[in-house]
């Protein structure tokens, strides 16, 4: 029975006791700062009358599903009467997942979460309006990031998120 008490000099009891920790952490993890998480949380809510209230939220949480697990990120966003908009790097993990599964996106604003459909913004006039909203809301932070005032060309990828 001595072989069962130890594997490679490590106690089996210790292995069993510690093996559950990563699973608990994964199930409980929401995003922290710039690090993605796995859990969105919030109460699933009906479509709001308008997404203009998003102006009161500095950061929103976005959930984008991969093949097996979601990726939840903290992200900047701006609201409009009928949609909300998010901006990001086309090569980022969340943006890749959104492109692959645009129908499987959720966002959390405060204590409420919403199921949304993502579509890239391609219309130049719409893009200009969204960029102006970003500049109005996050102007000083954007200027600090870029070291200069931003232009429409700095916004490589914008997604329009509309309720499903």
| Mean pLDDT along residues 6-12 | 65
Q: Which domains does the chain have, with CATH numbers?
A: 1-30 (no CATH), 32-163 (2.30.110.10)
| Pairing, β 60-65 against β 157-163 | unpaired
- Give the pLDDT band of residue 39 (cuts 50, 70, 90): confident
Angstrom distance (rounded) from CA 152 to CA 157? 10
More confident residue, 27 or 153: 153
What does the pLDDT read at residue 133? 97
* Single pTM value for the model: 0.78
What does the pLDDT read at residue 151? 94
How crowded is the C-beta side of 164, counted as CA atoms within 13 Å? 15
């Amino acid at each position: 029975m001595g072989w069962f008490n130890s594997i490679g000099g490590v106690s089996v009891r210790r292995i069993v006791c510690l093996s559950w920790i990563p699973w608990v952490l994964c199930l409980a993890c929401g995003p922290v700062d710039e690090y993605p998480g796995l859990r969105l949380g919030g109460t699933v809510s009906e479509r709001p009358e308008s997404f203009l209230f998003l102006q009161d939220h500095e950061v929103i949480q976005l959930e984008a599903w991969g093949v097996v697990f979601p990726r939840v990120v903290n992200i900047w966003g701006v609201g409009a009467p009928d949609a909300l908009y998010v901006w990001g790097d086309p090569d980022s993990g969340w943006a890749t997942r959104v492109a692959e599964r645009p129908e499987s996106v959720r966002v959390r604003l405060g204590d409420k979460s919403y199921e949304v459909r993502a579509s890239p913004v391609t219309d130049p006039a719409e893009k200009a309006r969204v960029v102006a909203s970003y500049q109005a809301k996050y102007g000083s932070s954007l200027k600090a990031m870029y070291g200069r005032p931003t232009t429409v060309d700095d916004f490589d990828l914008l997604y329009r998120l509309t309720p499903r």
